[in-house]
Chain A
Amino acid sequence: MSDSNESLIDKSARLVVSFFLASAGLWLLVAAGLAYVVAAKSTDPTFLGSCEFLTYGKVKAAQTNAFVYGWASNAVFAVSIWLLARLGQAEVRGRFYLIVAGAVWNLAITLGLGGILAGHMTSSDLMEMPVVVWPALLVSYFVIAAMIVVLHRSRINRETYVTQWFVLASFLWFPALFLVAWQGLELNPGRGTVQSVVSMWYSQNVIWLWITPIALGSAYYLIPKILGRPIEKYYLAIFGFWCIAFLAPWSGLHHLEGGPFPMWIPAIGTVMSIAMVFPIAVASTNFHATAFKDIGKVWNNLPLRFVIFGTISYTISSYIGIIFSLPAVAKITQFSIINEFHFNQRVYGFFSMIIFGVVYYMLPRITGNKTNEKAASFHFWTSAFGVMALLLAYLIGGLTHGVLSQQPELAWAESVISAVKPYFLISEFAFIILGVSQLVFVVNVWRSIGCPISFCCSKLSDNSGKVGQS
């Protein structure tokens, strides 16, 4: 495709992608602030202790929801629209609907987080937002997904690439997951521990099937694009895709090991989790065999450095995840703060790092305004350091927590929890570093997008002019 064509397509995506990115940035800061409060409360429970709206449990739930539905989902929308427009060489259409639906989505999350803090949260992981906002989330989601499908169908380039597979599949999976969870938790709640099965199925799959495929798809697009060489062993990529599609929905249930469920549930989860070595190995081979052909360029190109950090983190931590799904190991780590390691490695070390890379590549091309290189470099190093400190603290802290809690003679608070406290302190410092890092990132993004008010006015008039032309 020609450069002029590409820039035309980028321009058509400008308004929508900027809108979703700006919102994503806002939520990233909200999540970072809440993450600090959570970490501070773990080291000093009396921190903001008398405030009813900020109990540990509420802030924790608000933080994960702000991260997954605020930052990650808005970023997913922005990146998916741009990827599909680029790959299909189609201009973004239905901008008005996308913006309105995006506004509703963000409003629903604002209300949802407010609801959690005000004391209306539910007890299911990643479905904590009060039930009243679920319809708004789903409806606005369907509008965005419909526009995504329209964008894909209006493509000029009929050949498809694995990135499109991942993006479209994740847009199909998310509403299916959400509806199943809604049905199983609210409309026709299962009796007894069936609820817990539904909840675990949803919360694991929303990470594996909603945000993971977008990050993988982005890496599949950006690595060959920047290096100017095709993905090595590309024929494996589609195999990897179907492996994830078939195995991932089963694998998360291994977390129910030993609980009040029939044994077949965690047992199947463990088997499928072990089988996940195939898609992980495929993605790793595709990415790293390509990247290591020209590692010098990877190192010198900031967006690519972010992406490769993400893919390496994906590979390592997914293998660690498989080890922790083995019953002999799960016995030790199951209820420990290793869970925080799993969540953060996926949404931070993997997803967010890749998205940061995509944003640094995409934003200048869409807006025509360069991002500040020094700030971006600062962002990379602080993020990389912060993420590694955070993950190591949770990993080692989780092992300590798990091993000591397996010794029935040890007093709980005095011995087990006091041994874990230093790791909470490290995580608190890591969250401060990450918070600063993200503030730099978000300000950089906002400056590149431009002042929201003047930008919207100019874009809307620009937009109406274009509509008139066509």
Chain B
Amino acid sequence: MNNLLTFSFGVLLTLVVSWLAFIVGARSQFGNLEPTAEVLEENGSIPTGAELFPKSMPGIARQGAEEYVKLGCISCHTQQVRLAEAGFDVERKWGKRPSVARDYVLQENVLLGNTRIGPDLANVGLRGFSDEWLHRHLFDPQATVPGSICSPSPFLYEVKDEATNGTIEVHDHAGDHNGHHESDKSRHIAPTLRAQKIVAYLQALGQNYELPEMAFVEIKEDDHGEHHSDANASAVALPKWLSDQITSGKEIYMKAAPGGGMCFTCHQPTGLGLAKQFPPLAGSEWVLGDKPTLIKIAMFGLMGPIKVKGVDYTLAMPPPGIPPGSLTDQQIADVLTYIRNDWGNSASSVSPDEVAAVRSSVKGRAPMQMWTAQELKGDSK
């Protein structure tokens, strides 16, 4: 490469080709998109008088976008609902349809982001959060969303002791380290103009319209979806203690952290298990049948061959809980009540007393000694 000029030409050419393809190509293909109607005429023209989408944001929301950029919110939040083949964003209810290039043409700051430590915000304005809730969340995210690791922004608010016009009451959350705030004492926050801009921006985010290139996606209400709504519908009619037990049980079922049972990892959130590997809980005679047997399995786990709904499985199910076998009587009662009452199952609840009774009956059994199906059948007879 003794000729530096030729060399430079060569290496820059490689870059220019990629620039032409991606950036010049992108500009000419979708850099001039305009708002359009939800449905076009047959000849492709916009029907006269039709409402055009996307709409531009109000001025205060545009200013809010600038504040959003300055605080660096983009480092944890995306604003894009991916295509169905690229992820379960629509199923997660992050949008009614995947986002398309046209959704962003009127935004000065296109804040797609590339990391989701926080939830996607492309449709946050459609989720029914009140302005007040969003202000409380910005002021102290952990108070509104337990477990959130969002940076708090108290500097966007003036804290007052007395409620005045336009202030919002906030309660200190349980995990507050400061200590000097008593839990029953409430404070009042007055949002600054910046906070109001940000909230206006968040409320303006939403892709609540169809476009000729992208219609709303109908989520297939398959197995779990349906059963969820069933459980919710019946929960309304249940006595409070029972619905509390089911709610708490579901949490344990779905939780993969200390205090949870991590049941969903094998039996799936659908309760259907996995063919040939993990037996279903929905409609299972073991779940709906003899309660002491079920409690024993929940305490010690189960291993070896077992027949569920006429199908043979070979199991090595450790005692549920993290660490294994650590669930309390109340937790076992809750999670068993839950699995006996979801996915179409409907059976009597399990009380902590019944669990305690079983626990004393198996006193002396080594903590990690899993049952076999044979052993359990012999016991219950």
Contact = CB atoms under 8 A, between A and B. Distances in A.
Given A60-B75, A245-B14, A339-B115, A413 B145 contact: yes
A49 B151 contact: yes
A107 interface: no
A152 B26 contact: no
A57 B74 contact: yes
Given A149-B4, A194-B26, A259 B147 contact: no
B323 to A, nearest CB: 14
A392 to B, nearest CB: 19
Contacts of B18: 201, 249-250
Nearest to B112: A196
Interface stretch (A168-176, A298-306, A367-375): A168-176
Interface in B23-43: 23, 26-27, 29-33
A336 B86 contact: no
A469 B233 CA distance: 94
Contacts of B145: 413
A60 B148 contact: no
Contact of B71 (A57, A190, A330, A405): A57
Given A190-B26, A193-B30, A258-B82, A413 B14 contact: no
B71 to A, nearest CB: 5
B93 interface: yes
A258 B86 contact: yes
Contact of B26 (A176, A261, A337): A261
Interface residues of A, number: 92
A119 B71 contact: yes
B150 interface: yes
Nearest to B145: A413
B101 interface: yes
B111 interface: yes
B109 interface: yes
Given A122-B69, A158-B2, A177-B15, A262 B82 contact: no
Main secondary structure of the interface of A (DSSP, over half): helix
Nearest to B70: A119
Contact of B87 (A58, A242, A265, A406): A406
B208 interface: no
Interface stretch (B183-191, B250-258, B282-290, B361-369): B250-258
Contacts of A257: 82, 86
A42 B149 contact: yes
Given A46-B152, A191-B31, A192-B30, A260 B142 contact: no
A336 B120 CA distance: 12
B329 to A, nearest CB: 23
B130 interface: no
Contact of A258 (B72, B74, B85, B91): B85
A200 B269 CA distance: 36
A415 B254 CA distance: 8
A158 to B, nearest CB: 6
B315 interface: no
Interface string A185-216: 00001111111111011000100010000000
Interface in A149-184: 149, 152-153, 158, 160, 164-165, 168-169, 172-173, 176-177, 180, 184
A305 B91 CA distance: 49
Interface in A49-100: 49-52, 55-61
B76 interface: yes
A321 B207 CA distance: 33
A183 B379 CA distance: 77
Contacts of B216: none
Contacts of B74: 57, 123
Nearest to A128: B72
Interface of B: 1-2, 4, 7-8, 10-12, 14-19, 21-23, 26-27, 29-33, 69-76, 78, 80, 82-83, 85-88, 91-93, 98-119, 141-142, 145-155, 177, 224, 254-257, 264, 269
Given A51-B155, A192-B103, A253-B22, 7 more contacts: A193-B110, A193-B112, A259-B86, A262-B101, A413-B147, A415-B256, A415-B257
13 contacts: A46-B177, A50-B152, A125-B114, A172-B12, A193-B112, A201-B18, A245-B10, A257-B82, A260-B98, A327-B85, A335-B116, A339-B115, A408-B91
The 7 closest A-B pairs by CB, nearest first: A57-B72, A258-B86, A249-B18, A258-B82, A335-B116, A408-B91, A192-B104
